Structure 1
């Protein structure tokens, strides 16, 4: 897969040798709805024996026109993950566009003429029914008007679960609510994040539950504060574990949010290892305990639930 990074305005033509089937979208999460769009485009590309391309952006378009804070600034999938998933979906080219005010300000006709036709050599353009491309008048219903019969336009209907549209917004809401099983269902895979094992306060060891402390990408959304069943990959091995993401309120107020995972049947020095965490099930919310003994009793229960989860699957 070839990634072509683009800054508006284009300084030189790309001179692609073949027409392309192009899927358009920001694709944060690359959930089942996004996969439906890209798979539809791939089927067309295979039928026409043409390469498959994706147009996507380096950040959320909203950054251009509003102030964003907290989780609004974060992503379900960060850059490396998005590119890896696109590659797995059979994409040949990614046009990775810097979404700037200047890019957004071009007219829909200019975008179609300069990008889709002249530079991207579009044979067919595929997107979700609600996809827009900058201007308020730039929707999929109007795209055939701007195309002027120079390429085909295909709208993809929404993908539904429980009669509700699968969307990045829905996934973000469920992440914030801790509904990790719903998130995984909408993604079509386990929600995951990568990080590096770093030193913590070693409290878990004192409690009889030593943990790995993970420094994760601050640009990625995380599940809400609480205790979860997880799988962790270290090197090429996977381990079962229970994760706590939160402020450790039992040990004081206003602590930073940390991610700590107790791996079952594990006893190694793994500081500095890069790990992948997959989130499977939420056990409970974070609780401020009165006394260490009560915390240990709860952790004993958390471990039983974690072991039972893996035994049942």
Structure 2
């Protein structure tokens, strides 16, 4: 997949384009991805157009934590068969661009859009004046095909009573739109099972395995250490049941997110994973840790022996979890 980031000097030919923030690449976004990859059968290139930085970062003083970083987003889009990912620079100039100019300069001249798929609420250009109606009006002018996709919704009947309470906030709606903000909220609560239902796959952290303090190794629990980007949204500190992808193979394990208060607080939050029955050297490798269930919060223990005793319990619970999954 070609990755074009932070620059405007590009030119594509015969593109099937979808546009949006794509924070989370959830089930709703996947509908759009499926539409553009289907167009590859017609000889078009599947192109995802988004912005290099989340637009909220420009519009406020706070830095938005992202469900997926740029590198993680690239990896997921490549798996979906996308040919080109464009992370366009979101500047004051971009923000103030008139929507008509965006269609002519960006969609037509730079991307040669022959097919465009967008969500029904898609807006663009100065003061968000551009919308699906404007795209429809210009379709005949520039000769592109436009497909507008309704927002993906989940059915209340597909959720447990607890899920309905957590996700629908007690409302009586039968169908509710899947959104990045809803997913972000559930990640923030550590509701990883609910995140899977909304995201369409487990929430994950991808990165390079770094050297840690190797304290886990001294008590019989060697771990892989990831140091997530500061913009990466993470679940609450605690211990999770996880699957780790290494060179295309998935390995079960348990993962701690936090600052390791028992053995000396680390200045940065770390993602440390103990893999069941795996002892190969992973330093320098890129791995992906997917979160399935939150077991408990991060705790302070009075000694390494207490920590080891709790980790033995965590390990037993984790093995039982995966044994149960195999039986099902």
In the other structure, the counterpart of 1:198 is: 210
In the other structure, the counterpart of 1:215 is: 227
| Whole-angstrom distance in 1 between the partners of 2:224 and 2:7 | 40
1:94-135 Cα distance to aligned partner (Å, 9 max, x none): 333111110111111111122223332223321111222233
Structure 1 pair 128/258, CA: closer, same or farther in 2 (3 Å)?
same
Q: Which moved more, 1:294-303 or 1:168-177?
A: 294-303
Q: Could you list the runs of 5+ residues in structure 2 that have no partner in the other structure?
A: 157-174
2:139 is the counterpart of 1:144: no
Q: Is the 8 A contact 2:206 2:289 kept in 1?
A: yes
- How far residue 155 of structure 1 moved from its aligned partner, in angstroms, is 1.6
In the other structure, the counterpart of 1:307 is: 319
2:62 is the counterpart of 1:64: no
Q: Is the 8 A contact 2:13 2:111 kept in 1?
A: no
| Whole-angstrom distance in 1 between the partners of 2:284 and 2:16 | 42
In the other structure, the counterpart of 2:118 is: 127
Q: Could you list the runs of 5+ residues in structure 1 that have no partner in the other structure?
A: none
- How far residue 172 of structure 1 moved from its aligned partner, in angstroms, is 1.5
- How far residue 174 of structure 1 moved from its aligned partner, in angstroms, is 1.4
Q: Is the 8 A contact 1:246 1:259 kept in 2?
A: yes
Structure 1 pair 237/50, CA: closer, same or farther in 2 (3 Å)?
closer
Q: Is the 8 A contact 1:226 1:282 kept in 2?
A: yes
* Root mean square deviation of aligned Cα: 2.7
In the other structure, the counterpart of 1:28 is: 23
Structure 1 pair 210/80, CA: closer, same or farther in 2 (3 Å)?
closer
Q: How does 1:242-257 map to 2 (within 5 A)?
A: 242-251=254-263, 256-257=268-269
- How far residue 287 of structure 1 moved from its aligned partner, in angstroms, is 2.4
- Is the partner of 2:115 in helix, strand or coil? strand
Structure 1 pair 144/6, CA: closer, same or farther in 2 (3 Å)?
farther
- How far residue 49 of structure 1 moved from its aligned partner, in angstroms, is 4.8
Structure 1 pair 170/208, CA: closer, same or farther in 2 (3 Å)?
same
- How far residue 236 of structure 1 moved from its aligned partner, in angstroms, is 5.5
In the other structure, the counterpart of 2:33 is: 38
- How far residue 270 of structure 1 moved from its aligned partner, in angstroms, is 3.9
In the other structure, the counterpart of 1:281 is: 293
In the other structure, the counterpart of 1:98 is: 89
| Whole-angstrom distance in 1 between the partners of 2:264 and 2:83 | 51
Structure 1 pair 120/271, CA: closer, same or farther in 2 (3 Å)?
closer
TM-score, normalised via structure 1 length: 0.84
| Whole-angstrom distance in 1 between the partners of 2:27 and 2:295 | 25
| Whole-angstrom distance in 2 between the partners of 1:260 and 1:146 | 51
Structure 1 pair 231/111, CA: closer, same or farther in 2 (3 Å)?
same
TM-score, normalised via structure 2 length: 0.81
- Is the partner of 1:198 in helix, strand or coil? coil
